[in-house]
């Protein structure tokens, strides 16, 4: 029995979108950028952390999933970017000393 191969056709809209992505300054400006942090969590939380850190530090940052975690890239001072990410992370007012382990 001979199997049929699917013939892929091109779509003008997809071709135009691919060309826009390849020519995008946003996508290309982070190429070759080194990671400043790896953050675990849901995408909406990572996005909020990165955007808040970017606003407070003034350093352009971007992130993408890498093995189920968010890899964060920054175009400025790595130390300042890491500090801004740390300060942007949500905190809890609970401490382990407050828990009763009896």
The domain of 63 spans 33-90
Reported as a pLDDT band with limits 50, 70 and 90, residue 94 is low
CA distances from 87 to 35, 50, 53, 55 (A): 18, 11, 8, 12
Look at residue 83 and tell me if it is in a domain: yes
pLDDT in tens, 18-30: 677 666 655 567 7
pLDDT of residue 38: 93
pLDDT of residue 79: 94
pLDDT in tens, 7-61: 555 666 767 766 776 666 555 677 778 889 999 989 999 999 999 999 999 999 9
Look at residue 39 and tell me if it is in a domain: yes
Stated pTM of the model: 0.65
Give the whole-angstrom CA distance, residue 83 versus residue 60.
14
What's the token pair of residue 13?
Answer: 């809209």
Q: Each residue of 29-47: b (16+ CB within 10 Å) or e? A: ebeeeeebbebeeeeeebe
| Domains of the chain: total | 1
8 A C-beta contact, residue 98 and residue 92: no
């Amino acid at each position: 029995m001979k199997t049929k191969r699917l013939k892929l056709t091109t779509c003008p809209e997809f071709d135009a979108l691919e060309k826009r992505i390849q020519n995008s300054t946003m996508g290309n400006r982070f190429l070759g950028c080194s990671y400043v942090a790896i953050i675990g969590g849901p995408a909406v939380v990572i996005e909020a952390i990165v955007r808040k850190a970017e606003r407070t530090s003034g350093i352009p940052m971007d992130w993408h999933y890498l093995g189920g975690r968010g890899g964060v890239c920054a175009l400025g001072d790595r130390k300042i970017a890491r500090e801004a990410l740390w300060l942007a992370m949500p905190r809890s007012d609970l401490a382990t000393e407050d828990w009763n382990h009896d």
